[in-house]
Chains A and B, each alone.
Chain A
Amino acid sequence: MANNAYIEIKDIQKFYPHKDGKLFHKAGERKYVKAVDGVSLSMQRGEILGVIGESGCGKSTLGRILVRLEDPTSGDVFIDGVSTKEILQKDTKTFRRQVQIIFQNPFDTFTPRDTIQKILLRPLKHHNIGKDTVERLKICKEALEAGGLRPAEDILSRYPHELSGGQLQRISIIRSMFLNPGFIIADEPVSMLDVSVRAEIINMLIDLARNKNAAVVFISHDIALTRYISDNIAVMYLGRIVEYGSADEVIKNPQHPYTRALISNCASVDPFEEHEEISIEGEPPTPINPGPGCYFAPRCYMATEECFKCYPNRVSCGGSHYAVCDKIKVNGAENS
């Protein structure tokens, strides 16, 4: 990993106390749900990182920690070498300028009682962008038109319920871009949208990362889509990253048994596409004190006794591609 990474996520952990009905606990008896359990990643400027996994694997919690809607139990995020903890202590405004989030449901993102104009002017005013309302309105109009929302005047005078999901999601992206953030988290931004409008939102996000040189974390459970948009992909399972690498490498040459199972279960649009037949049983358990061994071992088709004893090491599979599994033979000797 390069030292000059723009975003450096270092060993983020988030534990929620498990509610077992007891008010008091003896020392060491309290259980925790380990939603995110030691995630480290680094990103360059202009890079799009896809995070995939089943629901409950902690990908959304990770996203919320990155924008500090939740505070991590331990660990820190560094933007351009500066700790976000320090930035937040000094000034929340500066932090919000740098980090923005795009939510899943565009219908819940906006105040239903305000017009789009009021909604868009608010962050500009708060962060003192533009001299007066006239200038701010000009910025809004330009941004809307650049985002393909024409006529801008008409859109500005409308209320959120008068617009479609695709339009609202575009406004949501435009709003998050006003402050020129260097780091954007997109938490399932298209899963609520119809397929025919999905593509334009995705293309808008890609343009944004490339033109404005922002680092984007794209959280999704749609594997084909994540592969399309991302430069790198991280696969999460029970709060830990099990595989990381460039998008094509991870999808075409998956190493970790979990990634393989995930991809083999993913339906493809092409009726003739071949895929491995791997099935895993059951659903991910709640990560309450997961065992000393590999978290995936109970569901893994390759698991042996050793897998239950200690957590596997990170195995490099060429370049930046790595998987956390002891059963992998390097250089793809075991590929089928």
Chain B
Amino acid sequence: MEHLLTVKDLNVTYVNKNRRVMAVRNVNMAVDKGDSLGIVGESGSGKSTLAMALLRLHPKGTEITGQALFEGKDLLAITKEEMNELRWVKIAVVFQKAMNALSPVHRISEQIEDIYRVHCPKASAEEIKTRTLELLKLVNLPERVYNLYPHEMSGGMLQRVAIAISLLHHPQLLIFDEATTALDVVTQGQILKEILEMEKTLATTRIMITHDMSVVATTCNKVAVMYAGELMEFGMVKDVLTHPHHPYTQGLQGSFPSLKGDNKKLVSIPGFLPDLSKECKGCVFAPRCSHATERCHKEKPPMVKTGEAGGAACWLCIGGEENGK
């Protein structure tokens, strides 16, 4: 089967005067049509860098190697103009802070019109307005929003506007970069529900970048766990969250309290993120891992198949030792 997006051996390195920070290392992943993939990880795990690299929004001077095939085209190799054609039309993004994503001095209507005209320069004002109102309705916003300025709206409303804008040209791939993190519990719940509701009618593929496992649990069918720039584990949400194979995923899960289940003691993962500017020989997680053996510090574990559609990069998962704990 043809994947919608295939990421092959992606490496992203931020270069500054005296340091090279390898923010994303050797990431391989595939996203199928209709998938909703959640990328989870702590801050500094490279999840946002990965998304920015796919969108080519990384800062100047960043070194990127590898491939990101989207419908047969390599997103990392095509020209700037070709990339601009893809933006909004094929790939759209919703950022964490909608208040910063929208211009404070223009009405919502003007901003949406701007984006619409970039790709359909001949569109009539009538056409744009109909489409905008249609989208505002889709994200549960009243029509009066059309004539408002961003400062007249609350955070939740702005985030909805940002989602509406991202849907403007029926993109195939939607990337949510921490899109609900800055919102309140209730607003977040509402927006997540609306996203799920929307997907019933629109055939979009979604990548959710978040640090909150519970968001992934409620809205995604696949999950990829990242740590220190590397992919630790991936698979179906119901498999990974119920039976995590990688010790890091297990640790991450142990630090989330359950809402209604048993009150088990929270366990934290000792230690800190490694320095990403230094080359790491073995498994990146080994210094913080309680199951680490000598081999873990010396050799990098390969991605091993776990279950139906999953994989984990851990020596423990090789040779049936995965049930050790």
Contacts and interface: CB of A to CB of B under 8 A. Distances in A.
**Do A and B belong to a common assembly?**
yes
Interface of A: 54-55, 164, 194-200, 202-203, 221-225, 227-228, 251-252, 261-273, 275, 279-280, 283
Interface centre among A200, A252, A265, A267 (most CB of B within 10 A): A267
A224 B186 CA distance: 14
Contacts of A275: 259-260
B181 to A, nearest CB: 10
A227 B266 contact: no
Given A197-B269, A269-B241, A271-B241, 20 more contacts: A54-B184, A195-B255, A196-B42, A203-B266, A223-B185, A224-B257, A224-B258, A227-B259, A228-B263, A265-B185, A265-B188, A266-B259, A268-B218, A269-B213, A269-B253, A269-B256, A271-B217, A271-B237, A273-B258, A273-B259
Given A225-B257, A271-B242, A199 B156 contact: no
A223 B185 CA distance: 9
Contact of B186 (A54, A198, A200, A222): A54
Given A54-B186, A252-B260, A270-B217, A198 B255 contact: yes
Interface string B126-146: 000000000000000000000
Given A269-B213, A273-B261, A199 B255 contact: yes
A228 B266 contact: yes
A104 B94 CA distance: 27
B261 A270 contact: yes
Nearest to A197: B268
Contacts of B218: 267-268, 271
A252 B251 CA distance: 26
A200 B217 contact: no
Interface string B219-240: 1000000000000000001100
Nearest to A148: B270
A244 B188 CA distance: 24
B190 A265 contact: yes
B214 A268 contact: yes
B172 to A, nearest CB: 26
A267 B214 contact: yes
A199 B185 contact: no
A82 to B, nearest CB: 35
14 contacts: A55-B184, A195-B213, A196-B268, A198-B268, A221-B184, A224-B256, A228-B257, A268-B258, A270-B217, A270-B259, A272-B242, A279-B190, A283-B156, A283-B186
B42 A251 contact: no
A263 to B, nearest CB: 7
B266 A269 contact: no
A315 B229 CA distance: 53
Interface in B169-224: 184-190, 192-193, 211-215, 217-219
Contacts, number: 121
A110 to B, nearest CB: 19
Interface residues of B, number: 43
A331 B45 CA distance: 49
B17 interface: no
B183 to A, nearest CB: 9
Nearest to A278: B189
Contacts of B242: 271-272
B265 interface: yes
Contacts of B124: none
Contacts of A272: 238, 242
B84 interface: no
A267 B217 contact: yes
Contacts of B189: 264-267, 279
B69 interface: no
Interface string B77-93: 00000000000000000
B268 A265 contact: no
Contacts of B212: 267
B194 to A, nearest CB: 10
Contact of A224 (B187, B214, B251): B214
Contacts of B213: 195, 269
Given A203-B266, A264-B189, A224 B259 contact: yes
A267 B188 contact: yes
Nearest to B156: A283
Question: Closest 10 CB pairs between A and B?
Answer: A265-B189, A199-B268, A228-B257, A267-B214, A199-B266, A196-B269, A200-B268, A199-B255, A194-B42, A267-B218
A2 B187 CA distance: 37
A141 B12 CA distance: 41
A283 B187 contact: yes
Nearest to A248: B263
A251 B256 contact: no
